[in-house]
Amino acid sequence: MQPKHYSLYERFAPVVARLIFGGQFLLGAAFKIPGTQGFAGEVAMTAAEGLPYATIFVGIAFVVEVVCALCIILGYRARAAAFVLAAFTLSLAIIFYTSNLSDPMMFGAFISHLGFIAGLLYVSVYGAKTFALRKDA
């Protein structure tokens, strides 16, 4: 039999993790709000990587980050939202950080993105079980 504090930890730790993951993506989305200086900067960085239609891609990234982050935070279809964000984060890591992995900053950013992906894959498997609008099966 487990002590009572273990069950509290198991109940609340995933909620805190969802808040942290969602918060990070909402913060990233704040730099992509259409019509702002941040949006223009994101479009310029995206275009500099050689992606066509950078404005459209940054706009889509804004929507994906906001919608999926809110789904994870609220626990509504968290599994699907986490999977979408994992695929999104993998594409960002490949597009923006693999051009020069010998640069320690680029390598560090790439590895950091892999850490996000690992956590998101975990959420995509286990979902939001506590304090969720819709508990995933």
**Residue ranges per structural domain of the chain:** 4-126
For residue 85, the one-letter residue type is L
Answer yes or no: are the C-beta atoms of 128 and 78 closer than 8 Å.
Answer: yes
Helix ranges restricted to H, 31-103: 37-48, 54-74, 78-97
Residue range 11-55, pLDDT digits in tens: 888 899 999 999 999 999 999 999 999 999 999 999 999 999 999
Q: Whole-number mean pLDDT of the chain?
A: 91
